[in-house]
């Protein structure tokens, strides 16, 4: 089994100048394609179950799916809860075999976010798994506006919560379908100056590929979450499969035709963050 915690994959990335992709899953077809792509490239991968995924499939089932995929490949696979909003939800993920919990208290006042995230981190560490928290608020394309991360607050958050990774708001936006923007690198450097914790970028699909690579290999950003970019690839492949034979109704046959295109898209994403092959052991 190659099941890993977030710390298992992010600390080597921090030491050796690369990043690991947190790939947002929605179902069996995409998560299997992501594991296959990572195995083919020889890179670790973080399989993420966010709120929409959990609305479709219960956490105990998702935990078994992630762990099954980890057994099927030779690279490290992290079973990660993305945007857990309550203690009970995080506890259920832990009991379901997840190896990493992301608690999202970013909409809450700073001290409340710290207190609640610290509680989740303590629970995770007591079980031998990892915890990610978020300071600042990463907004949504055509939705809630972002609230940029304050470096001093980030230092306090990292110090007082004990999280293993810290998601920050530095110009990134969830659900962005283009790469016309870019991240606020001076703010990133200011955060790096006051904490050495691995940093996480949510909404990584909207970050230009060149900047993703530069920051993956030249900053403390060790994890980029990628969802929209791969959902678009899956949707395009599914649309093509349906339109190729409008009379076909067997969803197993239709969904099978999404596999190769999604593997190819995932390989392109995974290739853009540096490579653990240069890691010194």
Catalytic residue numbers?
82
Query: Which of 116, 128, 135, 139 shows the shortest CA–CA distance to 200?
Result: 135
How distant is the alpha carbon of residue 2 from its chain centre? Answer: 18
Nearest to 44 by CA among 100, 106, 87, 89: 100
Q: Report the C-alpha gap between 172 and 146 in whole angstroms.
A: 8
Q: What is the CA radius of gyration of the chain?
A: 18
Gap between the Cα atoms of 220 and 192, Å rounded? 7
Q: Write the CA distances from 276 to 176, 199, 206, 219, integer angstroms.
A: 28, 17, 24, 15
Other beta carbons within 10 angstroms of residue 43's beta carbon come to: 22
- Find the DSSP H helices in the chain: 6-16, 28-41, 51-56, 59-72, 87-95, 110-126, 151-161, 185-192, 209-218, 228-244, 251-256, 259-270
């Amino acid at each position: 089994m190659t099941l890993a915690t977030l710390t298992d994959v992010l600390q080597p990335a921090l030491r050796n100048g690369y990043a690991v992709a947190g790939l947002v899953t929605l179902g069996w077809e995409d998560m299997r394609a992501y594991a296959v792509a990572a195995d083919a490239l020889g890179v670790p991968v973080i399989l993420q179950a966010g709120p929409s995924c959990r609305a479709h499939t219960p956490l105990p089932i998702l935990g078994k799916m992630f762990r099954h995929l980890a057994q099927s490949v030779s690279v490290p696979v992290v079973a990660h809860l993305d945007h857990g909003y309550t203690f009970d939800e995080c506890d259920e993920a832990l009991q379901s075999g997840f190896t990493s919990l992301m608690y999202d208290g970013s909409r809450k006042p700073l001290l409340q976010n710290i207190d609640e995230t610290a509680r989740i981190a303590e629970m995770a560490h007591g079980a031998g798994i990892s915890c990610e928290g978020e300071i600042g608020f990463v907004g949504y394309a055509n939705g809630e506006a972002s609230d940029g991360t304050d470096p001093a607050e980030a230092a306090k958050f990292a110090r007082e919560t004990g999280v293993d990774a810290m998601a920050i708001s530095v110009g990134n936006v969830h659900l962005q379908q283009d790469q016309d923007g870019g991240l606020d690198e001076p703010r990133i450097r200011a955060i790096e100056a006051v904490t050495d914790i691995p940093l996480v970028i949510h909404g990584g699909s909207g970050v230009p590929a060149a900047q993703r690579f530069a920051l993956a290999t030249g900053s403390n950003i060790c994890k980029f979450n990628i969802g929209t970019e791969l959902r678009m690839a899956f949707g395009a492949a599914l649309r093509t499969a349906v339109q190729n034979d409008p009379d076909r109704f067997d969803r197993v046959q239709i969904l099978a035709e999404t596999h190769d295109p999604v593997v190819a898209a995932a390989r392109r994403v995974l290739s853009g963050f540096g490579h653990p092959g240069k890691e010194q052991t």
